[in-house]
Structure 1
Amino acid sequence: MIVVTGATGHLGKLVVEGLLEKLPADQVAAAVRSPEKAADLAERGVEIRRADYTDPGSLVTAFKGADKVLLVSSSEVGQRAAQHQAVIEAAKQAGVGHLVYTSAPQATTSALVLAPEHKATEELIQASGLPATILRNNWYNENYLDTIKQAVATGSFVGSAGEGRVASAARADYAAAAVAVLTGEGHEGKIYELTGDVAWSNAELAAEIGKATGREITYTDLPADEHAKALAQAGLPEPVAGFVAALDANIKDGLLAETTPDFHALTGRPSTPIGVTVAEIVDAG
């Protein structure tokens, strides 16, 4: 039995879909905070198990009989380490044979603003003694959904990443890598740095949006403090605006620029170029 946490979320749902292409539905369980949101999966024969990262008892029950568990990292920044610790302890208590975790690029050594909670989680996994695989996912193409939509609407977008590059891939790519690990053999003890095949800059993103819309799109690079101020003026809460600007500073420093062969090695296919995702978002309106 393979249990996928966060199975109604963007990434978890894609992993479940990928597993169902390879395995009978009765070998897949969806661990979700709100079981009613997984009704469509239940109709297809997937076992739905309630699992709340803040309710350790629910996690032990959700992982009962699981050979493998995919821990999709929590979306609650600032609470992740504690929530992930509950999952790890429950997996150990339930006798899970293989834990797979979605982490961040170079999590244990990177200055990336998102890295500390992932570093803490990786250390907890190692200390647990559970056989584990770490999937260090680079940026998602879909992280730029709002930026692309804004550029389509206004003809421009701003940032503070300078000429920094992002080796992103589509969310479906990272899901495919997770499916390959969950359905494959010999991945225990491995860390995979998963990236897109090509790293791109904001100027290149503007060019891709321009290509998809058939008109000129401009990118304006701002100092980090001005970028944060512009985001706050656009309605983002100040802490969030500061966080986004900090991420751009990380990109400017090259922390998301490295490409690796790990994705292709796991899936046997190329990653989805940012231009393909841009075109899909533009076409969808």
Structure 2
Amino acid sequence: MIVVTGATGTLNGATVEHLLRRLPSAGIGVSVRDPARAQHLADRGVRVRRGTYDDPAALLDSFAGAEQVLLVSSSDLGADVVAQHRTAIEAAVAAGARRILYTSQQGAGPDSPYPPSAIHAATEALLAESGVAWTSLRNGFYGPLDQLLGPWEQTGTIAMPEDGPFTWVDRADAGEAAAAILTGGRPFDGPVTLTPTRAVTLDDFARFASEATGRTIERVVVDDEEWVAEQTTTGVPEAVARFTLTMFQATRTGHFGAVDPQLAELLGREPRSATELLSDDLARRRAVRDPQNGRL
């Protein structure tokens, strides 16, 4: 059996959907904080059990019978995330899992300005010490584009701190790749980099946005401290603004610029590009503004 945590989220939810296309549902289990949110999976024959990274006994029960366990990285920023990951790894080992997989991030390492990178590196060290086979899925960046680009549609500018090359990946592609690794014959020991084959910058996004809208969208570089001050005036807590700033600092110091063909090889096609993801984001925004016909 393959057991997946975080299966009601976007990333590992996509993984489960792709597993269902590859395996009988009886061979798939999910460990979720709220089983009611996974009823759609239970209705399709997936084993659904409650499990949280703060409850070792529940995790042990939800991992029972698993040959492989896919752990999603914790999103509980108020917790000791590495300790939570240690609890999950120990539960998977105790349950008899033969391989543990973990959703890490490209650029994982203790020397990055971006704090989650150190968390991912520490978790990978725990996996290496676990005594069982392990795979770390080092995905490219994903998430809300408005966090990356700001309110560019309203302002006509992408006014953000200095950046450098980074990879932006579709979570659906990352989820599909994880399913391919879980069900394939190749073991993929240790870290696996899963990125598009091309890195982008905010200058690229400004060009993509200009082409998509027929407007001129400019890239404006804002001083770090000036940007933090601007964010706080709009109600963003300073700690949140400074955390986001570290993402830009990490890109411009080269931590997220490397690319790898492995994702494309696993998918059997090129991953969806940043241009396509921006177009999808625009279409969603238009649909919200005008559900009848998607007009701006």
Specify the TM-score bucket, using the shorter chain as the normaliser. over 0.9
CA distance in 2, matches of 1:147, 1:122: 27
Runs of 4+, deviation exceeding 3 Å:
145-149
Conserved? CA contact 2:149–2:202, under 8 Å: no
Conserved? CA contact 1:5–1:72, under 8 Å: yes
Q: Which residue of 1 aligns with 2:89?
A: 88
CA distance in 2, matches of 1:174, 1:143: 15
Conserved? CA contact 1:250–1:256, under 8 Å: yes
Which one-letter code corresponds to 2:80 in the other structure?
Answer: Q
CA distance in 2, matches of 1:80, 1:211: 41
Which one-letter code corresponds to 1:256 in the other structure?
Answer: F
Following superposition, the deviation at residue 116 of structure 1 comes to 1.1
* 206-215 vs 62-71, which moves further: 206-215
Matched length: 283
CA distance in 2, matches of 1:168, 1:22: 26
Conserved? CA contact 1:145–1:281, under 8 Å: no
CA distance in 1, matches of 2:241, 2:125: 29
Following superposition, the deviation at residue 204 of structure 1 comes to 1.1
Following superposition, the deviation at residue 157 of structure 1 comes to 2.7
Conserved? CA contact 2:42–2:48, under 8 Å: yes
Q: How has the CA–CA distance of structure 1 residues 63 and 99 changed in structure 2, closer, same or farther, with 3 Å as cutoff?
A: same
TM-score, normalising length from structure 2?
Answer: 0.91
Following superposition, the deviation at residue 265 of structure 1 comes to 2.8
Conserved? CA contact 2:110–2:118, under 8 Å: no
SS of the equivalent of 1:21 reads helix
> Cα deviations across residues 127-163 of structure 1 (Å, max 9, x unaligned)?
11111111111212x342445572223322321134x
Q: Which residue of 2 aligns with 1:261?
A: 261
TM-score, normalising length from structure 1?
Answer: 0.94
Q: Which residue of 1 aligns with 2:288?
A: none
SS of the equivalent of 2:92 reads helix
Following superposition, the deviation at residue 109 of structure 1 comes to 5.7
CA distance in 2, matches of 1:110, 1:10: 28
Q: Which residue of 1 aligns with 2:182?
A: 182
Q: Residues 1-285 of structure 1 correspond to what in structure 2 (within 5 A)?
A: 1-77=1-77, 79-108=80-109, 110-113=111-114, 114-140=116-142, 142-147=143-148, 150-162=151-163, 164-285=164-285
Which one-letter code corresponds to 1:135 in the other structure?
Answer: L
Conserved? CA contact 2:158–2:202, under 8 Å: no
SS of the equivalent of 1:128 reads coil
RMSD between aligned alpha carbons?
Answer: 1.6
Which one-letter code corresponds to 1:204 in the other structure?
Answer: D
Following superposition, the deviation at residue 180 of structure 1 comes to 1.0
CA distance in 1, matches of 2:270, 2:72: 23
SS of the equivalent of 1:236 reads coil
Q: How has the CA–CA distance of structure 1 residues 172 and 110 changed in structure 2, closer, same or farther, with 3 Å as cutoff?
A: farther
Following superposition, the deviation at residue 165 of structure 1 comes to 1.2
CA distance in 2, matches of 1:112, 1:91: 31
Conserved? CA contact 1:137–1:174, under 8 Å: yes
* 257-266 vs 121-130, which moves further: 257-266
SS of the equivalent of 1:40 reads helix
State, as a whole percentage, how many aligned pairs show the same letter. Answer: 35
Which one-letter code corresponds to 2:67 in the other structure?
Answer: D
In structure 1, the gaps of 5 or more residues are none
Conserved? CA contact 2:149–2:159, under 8 Å: no
Conserved? CA contact 1:152–1:282, under 8 Å: no
Which one-letter code corresponds to 2:171 in the other structure?
Answer: R
> Cα deviations across residues 150-205 of structure 1 (Å, max 9, x unaligned)?
2223322321134x111221111111111111101232523211111111110110
Q: Which residue of 1 aligns with 2:293?
A: none
Which one-letter code corresponds to 1:52 in the other structure?
Answer: T
